[in-house]
Amino acid sequence: MTTEQRVTEHQVPGSGPYAITTGPDGALWFTLVASGEIGRLVPGEAVATFAVAPDSGPTIIVPGPDGALWFTEYRSHRIGRISVAGEVTSHALSGECGPFGIVTGPDGALWFTGTATDTIGRITTDGTITEFPLPLTEAFPSAIVAGPDEALWFTMNRANAIGRIDLAGEVSVHELPTADAAPVGLCLGPDGALWFVEIAAGQIGRITVEGTITEFPLPDRGARPHAIIAGDEGLWFSEWGGNRIGTITTDGAIDGISLPTPDSEPHGLTVGPDGAIWVALEHGALARVAK
């Protein structure tokens, strides 16, 4: 199958598609970080957009435990919620924390990272917020996921480490073997380990719940991998600097596909309702990649 056959781009209104997820309604929901909007796409139908605020910077979006979508507002320091009907509400956070990653935790609350305040936050669906300080400063906690061990795992981009926080707020830190690797995206893999990308080192990393780390160099060390998700057997990741979508098996075999539009800036990706991989391209489109 050629690139043209595998990749289809769908232009979207608004500006700056950044993260994307499949919602509980079977639609694709995505953030428009530059125009302050949330988008919704059902494959084959027109795109709908919903305003948040022009300067809000909606960043990461995930399904919540309440049948809605929850997202971070990086620039306005808020956590947002949008119902599948498009009703938007948001909750102000303390200080200018720069929330980035967000995920539903094993306790039924949303957990998020405070990039500028070195905190991990927790917000219940009724808006009760708790924040836990990290034992490091200028760590820039970024992506966060629920692990297989009743805890949350997160990347610390500037601290060059992977963190774990339990439901009581206890934090442990695992330093990366490669210096200045700058981890960003993170996901739970099909093998029960946590997989992450090292944007500055051009590598994919794997960490077990016991803390054992393995790193896999990409063929293009300047590819700047950004986000990563689990597939049925392996993992998919975006190469922001390489203009590709990469794949890696759980034993470390790496492959990928180039995107047809130059400098499309691939960021977040998800398994779509149709089983294909959907990628947010910051230049203004969503790409569908057939497996």
Q: Long-range pairs for 171-178 at CB < 8 Å and ≥24 separation?
A: 171/120, 171/132, 171/134, 171/135, 172/211, 173/135, 173/136, 174/207, 174/211, 174/213, 176/205, 176/213, 176/215, 177/213, 177/215, 178/203, 178/215
Contacts of 104 (CB under 8 A, 6+ apart): 62, 63, 64, 65, 70, 110, 111, 146
138 is in an annotated binding site: no
- The mean pLDDT of the chain is 96
Phi, psi for 289 (deg, rounded to 5): -115, 115
- Does the pLDDT at position 4 exceed 70? no
Domain range 3-289, CATH architecture:
7 Propeller (2.130)
Question: Pairing relation of β-strands 7-11 and 17-22?
Answer: unpaired
Q: How confident is the model at residue 3 (pLDDT cuts 50, 70, 90)?
A: low
Give the pLDDT of residue 147. Answer: 98
**How far is it, in rounded angstroms, from Cα 41 to Cα 228?**
21
List pLDDT tens digits, range 91-146: 999 889 999 999 999 999 999 999 999 999 999 999 999 999 999 999 999 999 99
Query: What residue spans define the domains of the chain?
Result: 3-289
List pLDDT tens digits, range 234-280: 999 999 999 999 999 999 999 999 999 999 999 999 999 999 999 99
Give the pLDDT of residue 233. Answer: 82
233 is in an annotated binding site: no
List pLDDT tens digits, range 18-70: 999 999 999 999 999 999 999 999 988 999 999 999 899 999 999 999 999 99
265 is in an annotated binding site: yes
| Active-site annotation, residues | 267
Give the pLDDT of residue 1. Answer: 57
- Is the pTM above the cut of 0.95? yes
What pairs with residue 120 in β-bridges? Answer: 113, 132
Q: How confident is the model at residue 5 (pLDDT cuts 50, 70, 90)?
A: confident
